[in-house]
Amino acid sequence: MKCGIEIHQRLATEKKLFCGCSAQPSEEKPIATVERMQRAVAGELGDVDLAALHEYSRGRKYRYQIFPQSTCLVELDEEPPHSMNGEALEIAVEVCLLLNSKVVDEVEVMRKTVIDGSNTSGFQRTSIIGLGGFIETSKGRVGIQAVCLEEESSGIVGEKAGEITYRLDRLGIPLVEIATSPDIKDAKHAREVAEKLGMILRATGKVQRGIGTIRQDINISVPEGARVEVKGAQELGLIETIVDKEVRRQEKLVKIKGELEKRFGKKKFGKPAMVEVTEIFKNSASKLLRKECVLAMKLEKFAGLLGEELYENRRLGTEFSDYAVAKAGVGGIIHSDEKLEKYPITGEELSRLREKIGAGAQDAFVLVAGDGKTCERALEGVYERTLQAFEGPQNEVRRVLADGGTAYMRPMPGSARLYPETDVPPIGISEEFIEEIRGRLSEMPEERKKKLLKVLNEELAEKIMLSENYPLFEKVVGELKVEPKFVATTLEETLVSLRREGVPVEKLNENKLMELFIEYKCGKFVKAAIPEILRYISKNAGESISSAVEKLKLEKMSPVELKQIVKEKRKSGKVGKALIQDIMREHRLRVDAEELSKIVEVYP
């Protein structure tokens, strides 16, 4: 097996890659839409890019949603791109250095033809920032082919009758793409590599977090198989399954090819006729078949093959159906290796059908219902896929399904998809620029973890090392000398549980948290008071920590006050541990347990 992955990670820059719009996630609502068409454009030497043509043949309209802070004329393809965002370029160079990749001398921005409508311009701007490199894994080095900096596409909102709606707030957010060499050994290894790359990216502290901000594409081929690109895996947990199922699918398709060679020998598979059989199903009990038109196609000598299982819940027939869906937008097809009773198709209908299309026991057939033109296009798709069965697996792009299986999406695009973006001048990258970034490079995850394990347990170390709060953690521990475990717990556990409670902790910025630790260091309050203080400050972000502590009456008790309480409690006859427990129960939020036990020890 040959396997490589591509990681796409959104960067946490302030602005987008080629315009001044905000690149940060927001809760904005769309304020307007524009409607556009796109078409395949003639490529090099007049030939039209295959992938582009495929999308065009689907003749769709695109509607784009406009957002106030994150859409301008650039996203609308109504204004040329501005110059490349320097912040994004710096992050991309940093990623190259972390991956031992060689940064190019001059960045050449390219246009990559995209005609699914996800880019208003019909192309995505992309450029190679680094070439080569590697990461270490448990199964040896995995090479890096290239690190690219590109524009994020628009987010899909929905699709209905020939019209797709996209949101433009996402379009143009900087995206780093890392492509590994096909060095991945197996399914488990694929997951490890994806995890590792994700960690390195997060360690820069400059990438977006959350759903959809990182995506994996997986390239897989088996011997005698083909290059298949599986697009858009968002969950790391699925990667193993995806690789495993795709390997089995390709292996099975190779076997089916062998079987077809046996059945056909040197004989060619001729183009079967599309036969109209609407009449047979005119009064069918199946609603699916009582349509304006039902077309049938005989697949000579294919009996049994359409029912061959590639992996759980996917048969060769499902692959045929994918093509009909992709080419004609039909719901699916019916084929002879299915349980036809379920539709239901009666024995009589079946024999009339077989007779009409001349299908014997060794032949299979495919049925499709709908309007005439659509049925024809669907069967064209089936025919195309049938011919491919003789060649084995095809180079193609597939999309991930919920169970880790995949479905056909489009043919593999050729390199004709890329041509220079003449609206953006090439950007020279100097040695000095690279060295400056090398000078402030974030540590590799392993190094950081090793350092953290000296002061934290493994669980906490792993949490904080990849956290967006890591820079704050370092500052508090380094500058204020607050104990690391306490800082990590506050940032990674206390804040998380408050968020789960519904406290708006996102209102707490780095400065506020810094203020909290300073006041703590000065002895203003005890650890136990922190959740209460944060809860209050989240809702009253304008107030200072010290005034919050006063309002909440959470000031740490002074030794004098504490001694007084100890004295009082003793009168009730309590001593030692019981005494401490009693006081802590009543004054937990204002008393430091260690301090209390010292007082109890010193003044027995």
- Which of other proteins, Zn ion, none binds 576 (CB below 5-8 Å, type-dependent)? none
Nearer to other proteins, 144 or 472 (CB): 144
CB of 219 to Zn ion, least distance (A): 32
CB of 119 to other proteins, least distance (A): 8
Position among 43, 205, 329, 332 found at the interface with other proteins (CB under 8 A): 43
Amino acid letter for position 152: E
40 interacts with other proteins by CB under 8 A: yes
**Rounded to an integer, what distance in angstroms lies between the CA atom of residue 37 and that of residue 56?**
10
Position among 91, 99, 135, 146 found at the interface with other proteins (CB under 8 A): 146
Position among 2, 58, 82, 102 found at the interface with other proteins (CB under 8 A): 102
Ordered DSSP codes for 120-153: TTSEEEEEEEEE--EEEETTEEEEEEEEEEEE--
- Which of Zn ion, other proteins, none binds 296 (CB below 5-8 Å, type-dependent)? none
Binding site for Zn ion (CB under 5 A): 19, 21, 72, 74-75
Only segment of 97-105, 387-395, 443-451, 596-604 that touches other proteins (CB under 8 A)? 97-105
Residues numbered 53-72 forming contacts with other proteins, rule: CB under 8 A: 56
121 interacts with other proteins by CB under 8 A: yes
Nearest to 17 by CA among 77, 93, 75: 75
Nearer to other proteins, 90 or 337 (CB): 90
Position among 112, 255, 475, 574 found at the interface with other proteins (CB under 8 A): 112
CB of 73 to Zn ion, least distance (A): 7
Only segment of 77-85, 320-328, 447-455, 556-564 that touches other proteins (CB under 8 A)? 77-85
428 interacts with other proteins by CB under 8 A: yes
80 interacts with other proteins by CB under 8 A: yes
CB of 219 to other proteins, least distance (A): 12
Nearer to Zn ion, 15 or 202 (CB): 15
Q: Tell me the number of residues near other proteins by CB under 8 A.
A: 55
The β-bridge relationship of strands 228-233 and 214-221 is antiparallel
Cβ neighbour number for residue 152 with a 10 Å cutoff: 25
- Which of Zn ion, other proteins, none binds 128 (CB below 5-8 Å, type-dependent)? other proteins
Mention every residue, 6+ apart, whose C-beta is less than 8 A from residue 51: 113, 115, 397, 410, 411, 412, 413, 414, 417
b/e burial code for range 29-62 (CB count within 10 A of at least 16 → b): ebeeeeeeebebeebeeeebbbbbbbbbebebeb
**Rounded to an integer, what distance in angstroms lies between the CA atom of residue 108 and that of residue 428?**
9
**Rounded to an integer, what distance in angstroms lies between the CA atom of residue 26 and that of residue 253?**
45
**Which residue is associated with the tokens 């690219």?**
148
**Rounded to an integer, what distance in angstroms lies between the CA atom of residue 555 and that of residue 240?**
53
Which run of H or of E encompasses 428? strand 427-428
421 interacts with other proteins by CB under 8 A: yes
The β-bridge relationship of strands 155-160 and 163-167 is antiparallel
**Rounded to an integer, what distance in angstroms lies between the CA atom of residue 233 and that of residue 401?**
9
131 interacts with other proteins by CB under 8 A: yes
Q: Are 295 and 328 in contact (CB under 8 A)?
A: no
52 interacts with other proteins by CB under 8 A: yes
Nearer to other proteins, 42 or 522 (CB): 42
Position among 25, 30, 41, 181 found at the interface with other proteins (CB under 8 A): 41
**Rounded to an integer, what distance in angstroms lies between the CA atom of residue 486 and that of residue 373?**
69
415 interacts with other proteins by CB under 8 A: yes
Helix (H, G, I), strand (E, B) or coil at 598: helix
Only segment of 28-36, 223-231, 288-296, 493-501 that touches other proteins (CB under 8 A)? 28-36
- Which of Zn ion, other proteins, none binds 19 (CB below 5-8 Å, type-dependent)? Zn ion
Nearer to other proteins, 419 or 486 (CB): 419
38 interacts with other proteins by CB under 8 A: yes
Amino acid letter for position 259: E
Cβ neighbour number for residue 26 with a 10 Å cutoff: 12
What's the start-to-end Cα distance of the chain, in Å? 74
In the DSSP assignment, the letter for residue 292 is S
279 interacts with other proteins by CB under 8 A: no
- Which of other proteins, Zn ion, none binds 30 (CB below 5-8 Å, type-dependent)? none
- Which of Zn ion, other proteins, none binds 321 (CB below 5-8 Å, type-dependent)? none
What is the binding site for other proteins (CB under 8 A)? 34-46, 52, 56, 73, 76-80, 102, 104-108, 110-113, 115, 120-123, 126-128, 131-132, 146, 148, 414-422, 425-426, 428
